[in-house]
Amino acid sequence: MTFLSEPEAVGRDLPRRDGPAKVLGTAAYAGETPLENVAYLHLVQATIARGRVTELDATAAESLDGVVAVLTPGTAERLASTEDRELAALQDVRVAFRGQVVAAVVADSSEVARHAAALVRVSYAQEAHDVELRADRDDLYAPEQVNAGFPTDTAEGDVEAGLAAAAVTVEQTYTTAMYHNNPMEPHATTALWDRDPAGDGFLTLWDSTQGVHPTRETVATVFGLDEAQIRVVCPYVGGGFGSKGNPHVNVVLAAMAARAVPGRPVRLALTRQQMFSLCGYRTPTIQRCALGADRGGALTALAIDVVEQTSRIKEFAEQTGVPSRMMYATPNRRTTHRLAALDVPVPSWMRAPGECPGMFGPEVAMDELAERLGMDPVELRMRNEPEVDPDSGKPFSSRNLVGCLREGAQRFGWAERDPRPGLRRRGDWLVGTGVAASTYPVNRMPQSTATIRRERDRYVAEIGAADLGTGTWTTLPQIAADALGVPVDRVDVRIGDTDYPVASVAGGSSGMTTWGSAVIEAALAFRDRYGSEPPDGAEASGSVGEPDGRYAMHAFGAQFAEAHVNADTGEVRVPRLLGVFAAGRIINPRTARSQFIGGMTMGLSMALHENSVLDPRTGHVVNHDFAEYHITANADVGEIEAHWLPEHDPYVNAMGSKGIGEIGIVGTAAAVSNAVWHACGARVRDLPITLDKVL
């Protein structure tokens, strides 16, 4: 295939096709879909963390001018499936977490809906709640498996013996905080329940989602509808980071409200504060890590025992220990996960679930081990390269961690580094540098189909894929063009609509692998059928195939950070971040760079700022807005560079590309913590790195 050996469009830094519409404000997002006579939905949320609603008085709300309907557990429709209890909106009077929806108001304007929601009087029978995650709880349990289908625990060799035989050991506890996804565009849905031409009920959802087809499937199940009765539309998404990876209760409520006022569109745009209860978050983790090494730095044992939370109503088991299963070679290894089911909102996906929190503890522990060995931390990592994937025993399709570390060290100026902490001072600031490794699996979803059609002198690829701001609008045409052997400016794509062929979720950095493979299959079928002179209207489809099961497939990276710690105040600044990644073929350097530095910036945010503060007395995240939930802003980021190795991996997919949406956040926080130690000598094992922890 010509695009493999001599790509024309793939590899070019083409600007975003959706850029002008977004900059000009003409790109309509889910909450601004232009429709007539829109009604607005506003939610009433529980003010207790556990108990039940005893009385709900909507008289004042209903008497307000402009109120169309009030949905309560007494009046809301009975859903066909309540198996997913996160989605079982208004089906009973139980309250399982603070912020749970207990009623909802539909009105002619968003202002009236919000005012009326505030007038709904709710009485509760409150029960004692429990929202405190601790490693010493006696009710921790082992889930059947952790997310993405991984085993809960793994064991190999004898960790205790490996630690006993080690020349040097590190045994410490590391914690990551609770984090909330905060995409620029809050979750929003416009829903219309109407009749199709045959007179049957038909639901249209303009929803901000990472996957129109997965959303349709879930909504069909919840309401007992046929998938053919639902259309989900989402051409643009203002970010999601996983929180729009599966529909949350807001989507169900919007659809439910639309069905209560047939023929009239209903719009629900969550407020920023509501997003802190209703659309998932990253569970806090407690990671007990143990490393042992011989004098030469070879690991004799590696263990990570993870404790994290889930909700009482739905299990979500972050796969935090999973990256430790494949990262380094050691004869003795243990990884475990235990959960506490608490009276908290349901955790969910957040950028690099598993890898992101799971590479914090181990990568700081590796730095501590290097310190005790008197060995350079880059060198220590290189000495523990496995020959094959230690977890599966399979060879890696490609593994260029060493190349990333080497190139990163060279670009960052690591060679001149004095390893001793607390020695460098610039004015009032102590200066240090740190490194950490990064990894993310190459995921491929089982289902996606693309159709390619000739329309007059243009080629059109259709697939229900999503563009979260990641570049799909731009990169899929690049792949299609090379697969068709035509110039990229003759190729259009149509995505973000269930009217197009089925596509998988934009999650697990799987989008390009999955949809790109489907597009290539469609293009090959198209060329097979029509040759080089396809007539107008020529059309062919293709679907993503099975992954090559012979290999373990992962992207790798090396993160370098420079930290400055104010000697008087403990303030931490990070003027420099540098990442080098080995992520297969890069489809578009411009959009790829944005993904990498976006991930690194989010990792910096995790290192220094982000922290959802859950008040145990109320079960409430008290800093539930941008005034108090701090996210790294422009002024917090200094120089930030992302580089990549020219990696050609023929096994991952036809493009040779590995996913890049998530690896940028992995390891960043550990690199920053390691740099902070090098600057001032304080080992910060609990994120975020705030000034009270370094002074």
Contacting positions for ligand MOS (CB under 6 A): 210, 241-242, 245, 349-351, 353, 507-508
Do 140 and 338 touch, CB atoms closer than 8 A?
yes
Calpha distance 583→400 (Å, rounded): 9
Q: For 141, which DSSP code?
A: B
Helix (H, G, I), strand (E, B) or coil at 541: strand
Smallest separation, CB 236 to ligand MOS (Å) = 16
User: Using CA of residue 501, residue 505, residue 509, residue 514, what is the dihedral sign?
Assistant: negative
Question: Which of 355, 367 has the CB closer to ligand MOS?
Answer: 355
Q: Give residue number: closest CB to ligand MOS.
A: 242
Helix (H, G, I), strand (E, B) or coil at 260: helix
Question: Which of 216, 564 has the CB closer to ligand MOS?
Answer: 216
Smallest separation, CB 509 to ligand MOS (Å) = 7
Smallest separation, CB 603 to ligand MOS (Å) = 14
Residues in a beta bridge with 621? 614
For 370, left (φ over 0), alpha (ψ -120 to 50), or beta?
A: alpha
Angle, CA 453 vertex, CA 452 and CA 454 arms, to 5°? 135
Smallest separation, CB 351 to ligand MOS (Å) = 5
Smallest separation, CB 148 to ligand MOS (Å) = 9
Pairing, β 333-342 against β 299-311: parallel
Catalytic positions: 662
Do 99 and 82 touch, CB atoms closer than 8 A?
no
Do 352 and 606 touch, CB atoms closer than 8 A?
no
CB proximity list for 584: less than 8 A, separation 6 or greater: 398, 442, 555, 647, 648, 649, 652, 655, 656, 657, 658
Angle, CA 349 vertex, CA 251 and CA 661 arms, to 5°? 110
Angle, CA 327 vertex, CA 286 and CA 694 arms, to 5°? 45
Smallest separation, CB 180 to ligand MOS (Å) = 13
User: Using CA of residue 120, residue 108, residue 218, residue 225, what is the dihedral sign?
Assistant: positive
Question: Which of 360, 412 has the CB closer to ligand MOS?
Answer: 360
Smallest separation, CB 598 to ligand MOS (Å) = 13
Question: Which of 301, 506 has the CB closer to ligand MOS?
Answer: 506
Question: Which of 507, 664 has the CB closer to ligand MOS?
Answer: 507
Question: Which of 179, 677 has the CB closer to ligand MOS?
Answer: 179
Question: Which of 351, 609 has the CB closer to ligand MOS?
Answer: 351
Calpha distance 13→10 (Å, rounded): 9
